[in-house]
């Protein structure tokens, strides 16, 4: 069920009405659980059992970490993490492993290739891992222990709600247990931040439906082998357009998730913080898909040793974290290469800072920003074309097709629908100026009303053809 579909709007409206009815105030969490299960089952009813299995593993392991035998707490936590990962590896990477290590016509290879990819499995698996790890980490902290109810039925309800809450179920943000669990409770309608909800939802739907969906209709020209017929300028423009599309698509989804959660009284962490203004790769990963990068840092990079055991281990941990983070995005080796490309960029940047000196490295801010954006945009080609041979063919075409005629219409539309993303980031940069903020403060409420009114008008009149969010496949 897409966030942009009429069926989803009807689900949200019905859930909202039931959720805030005074006679049903005691049942707010069960109402959201029921809505979430319906939301997930609407698209993959035959795989609802897998979500429930994943939830059951986390119910049992987190409960036993608190209330099981003290000498087995570590064992329960390890088993919980391992079973979470086994489910993810089997269903998400089974086809890739079968393709890599078995022939497609063999029984095992064909069986692995036929495995379905459950939507959102990467997201709800990572949330389950955060629950198990946080419960083990804070098992001696009274405030956290109180969140794990001794009543197993109540605890099961809490875990099912945490993992299944529909705004973030299939594409995040990845919400950590120690962030979300303390929020669970009765939510009065008077506490809803209506202005925040409106602005967040309008901006999210604008980025998705107007920017990303219109760009999608033109970046489809990047499909193999059609791109081989286009000029170098067209191919570069298409790649830039896809860079804008993937930001608008995923940032739009995250904003919609934040707005929907706030409608029901819950807070999610910000997932995007104007990533294309980054002047370093480390800064980019502090701004892009923040919930994933913070998860990888806290639950993978730091447990591996982080930067505590010398330079060689630091760079090894960094590369391994980014490669695994790349593979998290999709079951193709091109995603691992994408992660490796980012890992190498981070490692070289760190080495340059250590060697040249951080003061000197801070110079040439604009040039570094352009370099970072260009590198990131080029790497997105591995997302758009998961087949690595097609990526190489695209790069060859950029070099070889310099004299071919340009696709003027496609270039014009890509520039047009990329402008909002550019203005979105430019506005953020200007806000850092005190004089701009002073100018902006005059008549701010009127301008904001006009701006969001315009966005809402464009959503109604100029949305692109509907399509699934890019990150639904992860």
* Residues 335 and 429 occupy one common structural domain: yes
Q: Is the pLDDT of residue 255 over 90?
A: yes
Count of CA atoms in the C-beta half-sphere (13 A) of 73: 13
What is the rounded CA–CA span in Å between residue 285 and residue 349?
13
Tell whether 389 and 301 lie within a shared domain: yes
Query: Is 356 a residue whose pLDDT tops 60?
Result: no
Scored b (16 or more CB within 10 A) or e, 3-34 reads bbeeebeebbeebbebbbeeeeeeebbebbbe
CA distances from 322 to 118, 133, 295, 313, 349 (A): 23, 20, 12, 14, 14
Residue with tokens 């499909």: 223
Give the integer Cα–Cα distance in Å for 408 and 233. Answer: 10
Considering the domain architecture, whether residues 180 and 315 belong to the same structural domain is answered as no
1 lies in some domain = no
390 in a domain, yes or no? Answer: yes
Domain count, the chain: 2
Candidate from 245-254, 370-379, 421-430, 435-444 with smallest mean pLDDT: 435-444
From 454, 468, 333, select the one nearest 387 (Cα to Cα): 333
Write out the two tokens for 295. Answer: 């998860």
Query: Given a cut of 80, is residue 106 above it in pLDDT?
Result: no
Provide the residue range defining the domain that includes 353: 194-473
Tell me 405's DSSP state.
P
- Confirm if 337 and 389 have CB atoms less than 8 A apart: no
pLDDT one-digit tens code per residue, 13-71: 999 999 999 999 999 999 999 999 999 999 789 999 999 999 999 999 999 999 999 99
3-state SS of 34-53?
HHHHHHHHHHHHHHHHHHHH
Examine the domain organization and report whether 176 and 206 are in the same domain.
Answer: no
C-alpha count within 13 angstroms, C-beta hemisphere, residue 397: 23
179 and 223, same domain (yes or no): no
445 within domain boundaries: yes
Q: What is the C-alpha separation between 215 and 193, in angstroms, rounded?
A: 32
Within-domain flag for 460:
yes
- Separation between Cα atoms, residue 195 and residue 387, nearest integer Å: 44
Of the three residues 166, 185, 204, the one that is the final residue of a domain is: 185
**pLDDT, tens digit (0-9, with 9 covering 90-100), for 168-203:** 988 889 999 999 999 999 999 999 999 999 999 999
Q: Residue 324 domain-assigned? A: yes
Whether the bond between 430 and the residue before it is cis, its omega within 30 degrees of 0, is no
Same domain, 90 and 168: yes
To the nearest 10°, report the CA torsion of 90, 96, 98, 100.
Answer: -140
Cis upstream peptide for 365 (omega within 30°) = no
Final residue in a domain of this structure, among 163, 185, 207: 185
User: What is the pLDDT confidence band of residue 354, given thresholds at 50, 70 and 90?
Assistant: low
Question: Same domain for 258 and 289?
Answer: yes
Of the residues 185, 203, 218, which one is the last residue of a structural domain?
185
Query: What residues contact 319, with CB distance under 8 A and at least 6 apart?
Result: 340, 343, 344, 347
In this structure, is residue 81 part of a structural domain? Answer: yes
Band of residue 138 on the pLDDT scale cut at 50, 70, 90? very high
Asked if residues 59 and 159 have their Cβ atoms less than 8 Å apart, the reply is yes
Q: What is the CA radius of gyration of the chain?
A: 23
Based on the fold, state whether residues 106 and 154 are members of the same structural domain: yes
Pair 119, 267 in one domain: no
- Do 174 and 310 lie in one domain? The reply is no
Q: Are 123 and 169 in contact, with CB atoms under 8 Å apart?
A: yes
pTM, whole model, 2 decimals? 0.91
pLDDT digits (tens, 9 = 90+) for 453-462: 999 999 999 8
Distance CA 301, CA 305 (A): 7
**Cβ neighbours of residue 437 under 8 Å, at least 6 residues apart?**
431
The DSSP secondary structure of 147-172, one letter per residue, reads TS-SSHHHHHHHHHHHHH-GGGTTT-
What is the mean pLDDT of the segment spanning 127-156? 94
Is residue 84 in a domain? yes
Do 297 and 216 belong to one domain? yes
Q: Is residue 245 part of a domain?
A: yes
DSSP string, 169-183: TTT-----HHHHGGG
Residue 101, phi then psi, degrees to nearest 5 = -110, -5
- Residues 357-395 have pLDDT tens digits of 555 555 578 899 999 999 999 999 998 998 889 999 999
Q: Are residues 177 and 221 in the same domain?
A: no
């Amino acid at each position: 069920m897409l966030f942009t579909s009429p069926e989803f709007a009807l689900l949200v409206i019905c859930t909202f009405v039931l959720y805030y009815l005074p006679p049903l105030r005691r049942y707010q969490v069960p109402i959201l659980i029921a809505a979430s299960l319906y939301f997930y089952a609407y698209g993959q009813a035959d795989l609802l059992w897998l979500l429930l299995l994943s939830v059951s593993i986390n119910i049992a392991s987190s409960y036993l970490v608190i209330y099981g035998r003290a000498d087995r707490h570590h064992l329960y936590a390890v088993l919980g993490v391992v079973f979470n990962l086994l489910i993810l590896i089997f269903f998400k990477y089974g086809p890739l492993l079968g393709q890599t290590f078995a022939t497609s016509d063999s029984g095992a290879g064909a069986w692995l290739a036929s495995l379905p990819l459950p939507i959102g499995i990467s997201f709800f698996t990572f949330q389950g891992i955060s629950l198990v790890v946080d419960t083990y980490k804070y098992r001696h902290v009274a405030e956290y222990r109180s969140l794990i109810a001794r009543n197993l039925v109540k605890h099961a309800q809490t875990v099912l709600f945490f993992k299944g809450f529909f705004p973030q179920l299939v594409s995040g943000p990845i919400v950590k247990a120690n962030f979300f669990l303390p929020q669970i409770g009765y939510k009065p309608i008077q506490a809803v931040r209506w202005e925040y909800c409106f602005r967040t939802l309008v901006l999210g739907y604008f980025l998705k439906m107007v920017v990303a969906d219109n760009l999608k209709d033109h970046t489809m020209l990047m499909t193999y082998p059609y791109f081989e017929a286009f000029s170098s300028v067209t191919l570069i423009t298409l790649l830039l357009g896809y860079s804008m599309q993937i930001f608008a698509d995923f940032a739009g989804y995250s904003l919609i998730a934040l707005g929907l959660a706030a409608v029901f009284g819950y807070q999610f962490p910000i997932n995007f913080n104007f990533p294309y203004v980054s002047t370093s790769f480390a800064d980019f990963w502090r701004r892009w898909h923040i919930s994933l990068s913070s998860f990888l840092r806290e639950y993978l990079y730091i447990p591996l040793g982080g930067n505590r055991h010398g330079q060689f281990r630091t760079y090894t941990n960094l590369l391994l974290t980014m490669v695994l983070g790349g593979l998290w995005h999709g079951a193709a080796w091109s995603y691992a290469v994408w992660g490796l490309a980012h890992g190498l960029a981070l490692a070289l940047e760190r080495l340059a800072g250590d060697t040249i000196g951080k003061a000197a490295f801070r110079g040439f801010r604009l040039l570094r920003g352009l370099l970072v954006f260009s590198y990131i945009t080029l790497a997105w080609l591995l997302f758009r074309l998961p087949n690595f041979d097609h990526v190489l063919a695209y790069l060859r075409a950029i070099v070889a097709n310099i004299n071919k005629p340009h696709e003027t219409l496609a270039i014009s539309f890509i520039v047009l629908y990329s402008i909002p993303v550019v203005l979105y980031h430019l506005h953020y940069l200007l806000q850092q100026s005190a004089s701009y903020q002073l100018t902006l403060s005059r008549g701010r409420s009127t301008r904001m009303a006009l701006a969001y009114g315009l966005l809402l008008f464009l959503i109604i009149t100029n949305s692109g053809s509907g399509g699934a969010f890019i990150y639904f496949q992860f």
